[in-house]
Structures are given as structure tokens and as C-alpha cells.
Structure 1
Amino acid sequence: MRVVANNLIDMSLNPLIYGLFNKQKPSKLNKEEYSRWLTGFIDGEGNFQVYLDRNYLRVMFRIRLHIDDIAVLLSIRDFLGVGRVNKDGNSCLFIISDITALTTILFPLLDKYGLFTTKWLDFLDFKVVVRHLSTSKTTRLTSIQEDWIKSIMSGMISGRTKYNYDLIPTLIVNPYWLLGFIEAEGTFGIKNLSTYFQIGQNIRNSMVLNQIANYLELLPKSFKFSIKTQPPVVSHVINNKTEVKVLMINNIDALHDYLMFFLLNMPFQTRKYKDFLLWCLVLHLHKQGYFYLLEGRSLVYLISQYINDGRYSTNVHRGKTPEISYINQVLSLKLPVALQPEMLHVDLAKACAQIIKKRSIYVYDKGELIKGSPFASYSSAMGAIGYSKSSIWARRSIDTGKVVGGRFTFYSNPI
């Protein structure tokens, strides 16, 4: 592992690199912490189902995940001491359908810690049905009972049209609940080789997203070397077609100096921890200026192709795992500009752009060098292939191997 020279600047690298390349079990949580984490995870991934099997009433609580994430379902089963874990193609499921297990284990947990999305309303309806089953001698329904059950079923989950928000507990954000919710619904993303963090929910859960946004905007600053950076500003974006509301932070300084260090100290329980650590590495490359070196940008591109869906074993286009030797090679490079305490990220980016010499840009169309190469500027390279000269694709993609428009690649030297 690389020995860092400046602890003020590189204080994030030791736990980050260690976590990336040392297989380790999720951090152990005590009962209270795990309960908070689990309710946050259920708020994101849990599902309460009531259904009819001919004239017989069935109920099921379940969590469905990708098969690669089966370990977390086994952990939940072991914590609760009830339920079963099944494999279903590329998915895995944790299921509790036993009435006694539901009423004596799951219900007390959720009654104590609560759910804060509209999923709580499904839970209340689910409890009514389970209570009926617990006192009934048979699961077979009369015609009147069947009509009653169908009326409940039609108003649960996606069929719900009426929301009594007064029944839903008010969220006071607990960090362990938030971690569980982030592991279920959060995204550590890289778009156009730049980092962002987001959480999305249907607009009916805006009250939860607003509380989370308030919490994130009050995070303490951990990276105090930079003296001018400001707390996160959380943007709220609504897609009117899908009725999904997204919280997003994409400012490099806020992500690095506030959010990253907060989450580095949190005990992730799922494989999203690996995505998070690689995302942190990309943040570090941006914050320190490695990104403005060709090798740094290539590493960012490699990571962007690997994390999130790119790492799943079922992905036929699975990304290549970044190697520790390559990461150390990039981190050993001399930076074009040394980060100064008074610098914002935008200041560092401008300083790097002024120092790094202009490069020749070789453009390839499906592996064939196009006429006019090499180009003296990114804008002329983009113009030559019919794109807007203001497009960022050449600048973002050079020497990464990224294919633009299904055809074009960009290099600073002929290949």
C-alpha cells in the first residue's frame, strides 16, 4: 500500500485502499444499531404482500436482491432468527411467511423502530390481515371475507391511492437508519467521469427525502485542510413522468470534505461498500488533481465501468476490476498542481488546465484513424465527427478507451 506523504491531504487513503483490497466481513453492529440499519433497509427494499391462492389467504414479508448480495439476506435472517433465504434465478429472497414469526419477531421490531415512508401504511394493512390469520382456524375464506381481503389488497403497494400521512411516524434521521436506506436506495455514481451521490423515491415520500436533505446539509466538515469549502447543497429534482424525486449532491468539495468522511466512518453491511470505496477513490483523484493526468482519467473511466451494475456477476459486459498496482501507479505520479488550503476544486481544475500542455488528439472511427488526425484541440476533434464543438466527450474520453456514439475513440498518441 502506498505510504502517504501528507496526512492532512491523504488521510482518506489508508482505510480506503485497505477496504478495497482486503476481504472483510461487514462491521459488527450491536442490536440497537442493526435494528436501526435494518428498518432503513426495509424502508427501501422491504415488501409486504397479501395474496390469494385460490380461496386461501397467504401473507409474506420479503426482501428481493441480486443474487450477488445474498450474504446480506443471510445476515438479516441470522439477526432475526426467523425466515428463509431462497435463490430465484439472478435474484435472492428473504421471506417470512410464518404467522408466529411475523407477530412475535418482525412486528415488534417495526412497531418499536418504525418505517418512515408510505411503506408504513402497507405494514399497517399487512398487520390487520396477519392478525386475522393468527386468530382464524383456517386460511380458507368465505365469499364475504374474500371481498374484504380484496379491498385491502387493492389499496396496498402500487394500488394505493389514498395516503393518510398522519399515520406515518415522523422521521428523525438516525445515522444507522440512514445507512440502511442509502444501501437500499442510494447511488454512488459517476457520470461523464465526475462523481455524484443521489437518493431517489416516489414523490409521495418527499417528506422522507426532505428530512434526509436537511440532515446531509448539516454534516460536519471533516477534511479541514481545505478552508473555503462549504457544506453540501442538496438539489431536488422531480421527474414528472415517473413521479420520482431525486436528492443529489455533485459538488466535488462537498462530497469529499463532508459526505465521504461521514460515510467512511459508517459500518456498511452490503456489497455497496465496495462501490462506495471506489467512488471515494475517484473523489480523491478529482480533489487532488490526479484526474487531470491522462493516467488518472483512465483510472476514473475504468472505475466508472466497474461499479454499481458493472460489477454484477450476471453482467455479460462486466467491467474490469481495478488492480491495486495500477491504482498505486497513478497515485505515485507527480501532480501538475499541489492542492492549497484556499483552493476550491474549480480553482484546482483551472490551474491544472493552464499548466498541462495542449495535446494532439487522434480520433478513431471503429479502430480506423479518421482524416485530419491529429487535431490540435478538443473542439476541432469533435467538430470533425459531426458533434458540437463545445461537447465535452473528447476531453472526458481521451486515452480511456471509451467509445463515443458507438464508434469514436480518442487518444493523445497514435495506436
Structure 2
Amino acid sequence: MDDIVVIGAGQAGASMVARLRKDGFAGRLTLIGEEPVPPYQRPPLSKGYLLGEMALERLFLRPESFYADENIVLRSGQRVDAIDRVAKTVRVDGETIAYDQLALTTGSVPRRLPASIGGDLAGVHVVRTLSDVDAMAPDVTEGARALIVGGGYIGLEAAAVAARLGAEVVLVEAAGRILQRVAAPETSEFFRSLHRGHGVDIREGVGLDRLIGKDGRVSGAVLSDGRELPADFVVVGIGIEPATALAQAAGLDIDNGIAVDVLCRTSDPAIWAAGDCCSFPYRDGRLRLESVPNAIDQAECVAGNMLGAGVAYVPKPWFWSDQYDVKLQIAGLNTGYDRIVTRRGESGAVSFWYFRGDDLLAVDAMNDPRAYMVGKRLIEAGRSADAAVIADGSADLKALLRP
């Protein structure tokens, strides 16, 4: 029976080892993670956990006892130094572990501000790991002056939590509008109004020139328009990069992440990859999805293919974001849209439907789970929808699902 080693103990790695055992793999199974805790959920870190509404143990994807019960060797707090593809071994803290099949679920790393503009000052935070949020928590207090750099979903979620905890929040986005890379102007406007209604000062088309420090700690910022702001702490939300250093050092093909084929196998037939770290064939190009659902689905597909299933990975993209009392649910990918159809429902529910011609591509639904559910089912079935029905807030959306 094969020895399988999985490097990366996030959502993808945890999902993969659980599925391998569920599907009957009885060989030696090792999961290696750099963080000194069992695999945990990341999305609640900057929301429920930072707000004090979720205890540490509730973050864990499985009880720590699960891994021992399933005979999974969980090596937490350990870093893989190198992969030897010829010998089929990995080196972990000076120890060598053999594998027959290897999976890389190394995830992603946050982009940071360079030290030359103050990125290494105390009080400058990113939001990715448990230790990141634990380090940030003492700074997020009532009356503290917060600067959020970046108007994507990470920055907006951080702004929402900081505002809820009583901080004075300024958010700067260098692009012309928040969410410019990922959403339509209508969605940007919705969240701009939401945040301003909660006292957040959103400044678009304005970047960060540099941070100002005093005694090694951030004390302010100079913006690209020359204005200066005081800041007691800074949250940097300017995107993430796939964690490919280990794969690249091992000579695997890299293309916006670790390049895999339709089965999620890398350029080495004994090595697989799943989650944020890898890109896979999609339509006429390659796609890398940064989402929990993709990490789970792709990891479970890899588990099956390691055991010989031979099933091509077909993504079903969906995402979510929680800000204040608004739950945003997104289905599909909006790349290439040329028009938006707006639907307004009861109690402030609203959804924006992305079309290219007559083809439905994606839906952004704010506090509108029915619109999200209907849109998701249509998109996954490859069906479009009648724009007139969508725009009529009194029409029954479920009628769109009928044959």
C-alpha cells in the first residue's frame, strides 16, 4: 500500500486526508503543516474570532483526536525544507520522509508592504493566519485610528470588524473603486454605501505612498495625494500569492500557481496539488480559484484520483463575504460580462446578475439567499435566465428552474 504525504494543513490538506481515509485508503498517511495548531477555518479569523464571538476550538475543522483515530500522522508546526523527486522523499526539520504519492496543498501567502515604505513597522498587520489575527487583536480597540490598505474583500471585512469594535477607520484603494478587480460597479456602490453608513472613510483612487513610524511603531501614513493620516494600526489587504516556492525549488511547472492537469496532477506524475496554490485547465486557459469551496472540492477530487478514480476536476465557483449584517453570496465567475441585471427584493435584499449577451455568468446576492441559490443552480446547469423575470422583484425566481 502506498505512503501518501500531504504538505499543507489548511482546508485543502485537511479535506484531502479525511477523504482518503473515507474512500478506503489504508496506507501510511502524513499531513504536514507549518502552523502549531490543527487545521482550522480561515474565514472566521477576521470576523467571529477577532470579534470574540468564536472560541479557538470552534475554528478547528476536526477535533485533534480525529487524526489519531483515523491513523493520520499530523505533524503540526513543522516546515518542509525540500522535495527530492528522484528519491521520492521530503525533508522536514532535518528528517527524511518517503512517499509514493505526494500532494501539495500549500495555499497562499499575503502580499505585504515593502520594508522601504514602513511595511516592517510594529502595528502593520496582514490577515491570513491565526497568529496574524492574534497579533492584531490588541490593536483593534475603541477609538483606535485604523488604516486599511486595499479595497478588496479582505480589506472590507477588516474595515467592518474594526468599525464594529469602535475604531476610527479609513480605507484607501488605489484603483478607481473598491472591488474593481472582482465585481461590477453596482456591487462596489452597494458596499461603499454600506461602509460609509457605518462611519468608514473610504477613499478611492488614492494609494499609499509610505507609512510613518515612531520608535519602531507605525504612527501615520502619507497617501499618494500627499495627505497625511494618523494611524495607530494598519491592516494590509492587497491580495495573496500562491505559495509555490517549495514546488518551484523542486522543478515543478509553475503557471499562476503550481500547474496541474485536468486530474490535478503536476508535471511530476507522483505529485498532485489542490487549493489556492495551483492553477488548472479551464475553458481556453488556466484558472486559479481562491476560495474555501474550491479547496474542498479540488482536494476531494485529488483524493479520488490518487486512488485511481481518473475524474477530471470541474469547478463550481462560489464565494461569500460577511460584512456587518450583510451576507454576500457569489455564484459563478463574472469574467467577460457586458451587462448587469438588478433585482431588488424585500428587506433590502438585492442581487446583481452578470450576463454576456444572453448567457448568465454570475450572481452577486446581498442578503438574498434565494437569488443566490437559483443563480447557482442555473449556472452549474449551463442554463441562462430571462432578464425580465430577474428584474421583476415580485416574480418567483424558482420558475426559472423549471424545464
TM range (shorter): under 0.3
Bigger strand share? 2
Larger radius of gyration: 1
Instruction: Provide TM-score, normalisation by structure 2.
Output: 0.24
